Amino acid sequence: MCLAVPGKILEVEQQVDNRVGIIQFGGITRQAYLDFVPEANVGDYVIVHVGFAISRVDAEEARRTYDLLEQMGLLEGEGLKAGVEGDQ
Of the residues 10, 11, 35, 42, which one makes contact with other proteins according to CB under 8 A: 35
Question: Binding to other proteins by residue 75, rule CB under 8 A?
Answer: yes
DSSP string, 10-63: EEEEE-SS-EEEEEEETTEEEEEE-TT-TT--TT-EEEEETTEEEEE--HHHHH
Question: Binding to other proteins by residue 50, rule CB under 8 A?
Answer: yes
Give whichever of 11 and 83 is closer to other proteins, judged by the CB atom: 83
Distance between CA atoms of residues 6 and 53, nearest Å: 9
Give whichever of 11 and 25 is closer to other proteins, judged by the CB atom: 25
Question: Binding to other proteins by residue 45, rule CB under 8 A?
Answer: yes
